[in-house]
Amino acid sequence: MIDPAGFIGQIFVVVLLVVLAIFVVATLFRAIRIVPQARAGVVERLGKYRKTLQPGLNILVPFIDRMLPLIDLREQVVSFPPQPVITEDNLVVSIDTVVFFQVTDARAATYEIGNYLGAVEQLTTTTLRNVVGGLNLEEALTSRDNINTQLRVVLDEATGKWGIRVGRVELKAIDPPVSIQDSMEKQMRAERDRRAQILTAEGTKQAAILEAEGSRQAAILEAEGQAKAAVLRADGEAAAIKTVFAAIHEGDPDPKLLAYQYLQTLPKIANGDSNKMWIIPSELTEALKGIGEGFFSGKGPAGR
């Protein structure tokens, strides 16, 4: 026969071993923690901050240490919904923002702020309204880099105590009211038309300048050609005169021949309408005197 007391004792031992095994497994499960890369885990011991677990295998004290949810240490990109902002000239614009931030201190991000993501959003909205509120619409549309820089500086300074570093803030879009957009489009069309007219006028002006410059260069070249032609004609006439003069001197004409040639040329000189005064060289008078003496000397013997 089976001893009931022994059987019950065996069952009790088996159950005890099973419970002990479960307890050991649960203890090991609570003691061993594996933290992934780019994550951080905050550990509390009896409700008080103990340490921050680094990526890898970590050992905790079971039932005494408690690890809070892991915190992402990578740079995060958060896009906030459009926010209405009033500019200095009392116009409501809608601005979309994107914030790039990174958790640098898991302990501060856990204990210094309840919800750092919501805090960053609210702080971004408040800072954006303060910065854009001091600008008019035109400055807000043309000063994005300046606004981004101011937002980043203010946010980084305010979130530093939360263990958060703000790397960059970008304005995705600045949408003015519809009426202002229509006015801006009309202004842009007018500006484009004005620039087109200016470019057309500049082109006409340049064309006129080039045409005038071409005419001037043509006139200069024509004048230079005429001057060179006159010089060449003068050089040719001078050469002809030198040739005639040399031929005359080589022939050694007497004064009577020169006087006779001059007398033949006088009618041609007299034909000119502008010839009011004749210049008679002294050699001609001597030659005429010789001719006269020849005539009178010829008549003397005959009269005798």
Spatial separation of the C-alpha atoms in residues 238 and 230, rounded to whole Å = 12
Rg (CA), the chain: 59
The beta-strand segments (E) located in the chain are: 32-35, 39-45, 48-53, 56-59, 65-67, 71-72, 76-86, 92-103, 164-175
Topology (CATH level 3) of domain 75-176: Tetrahydropterin Synthase; Chain A (3.30.479)
Quick one: which of 88, 189, 70 has its CA closest to 140?
88
Spatial separation of the C-alpha atoms in residues 54 and 74, rounded to whole Å = 14
Burial of 81 per CB tally in 10 Å (0-12, 13-18, 19+): exposed
Mind listing the pLDDT tens digit for each residue in 23-81? 777 777 778 888 999 999 999 998 899 999 989 989 888 888 889 999 999 999 998 88
Q: What pLDDT, on a 0 to 100 scale, did the predictor assign at position 36?
A: 92
Q: 58: which 2 tokens? A: 């970590």
Mind listing the pLDDT tens digit for each residue in 251-304? 666 665 666 665 666 565 556 555 555 555 555 566 556 555 555 554 444 443
CB 91 within 8 A of CB 140: no
Please report, rounded to a whole number, the percentage of residues in the chain having pLDDT higher than 70.
Answer: 76
The structure tokens 């033949």 sit at 264
Q: Which residues contact 59 (CB under 8 A, 6 or more apart)?
A: 31, 32, 33
Spatial separation of the C-alpha atoms in residues 144 and 135, rounded to whole Å = 11
Spatial separation of the C-alpha atoms in residues 174 and 95, rounded to whole Å = 5
Mean pLDDT (the chain) is: 80
Mean pLDDT, range 76-94, rounded to an integer: 87
Q: How far is CA 186 from the centre of its chain?
A: 25
Q: What pLDDT, on a 0 to 100 scale, did the predictor assign at position 103?
A: 93
Quick one: which of 262, 258, 293 has its CA closest to 279?
262
Q: What pLDDT, on a 0 to 100 scale, did the predictor assign at position 238?
A: 76
Q: What pLDDT, on a 0 to 100 scale, did the predictor assign at position 302?
A: 42
CB 159 within 8 A of CB 123: yes
Q: Which residues contact 65 (CB under 8 A, 6 or more apart)?
A: 43, 44, 45, 50
Pick the residue with more confidence: 296 or 177? 177
- 282 in the Ramachandran plot: left (φ > 0), alpha (ψ -120 to 50) or beta? alpha
271 DSSP assignment:
T
The strand pair at 39-45 and 32-35 is best described as unpaired
Mind listing the pLDDT tens digit for each residue in 141-175? 888 888 888 889 989 898 999 999 998 999 888 88
Quick one: which of 180, 27, 165, 193 has its CA closest to 100?
165
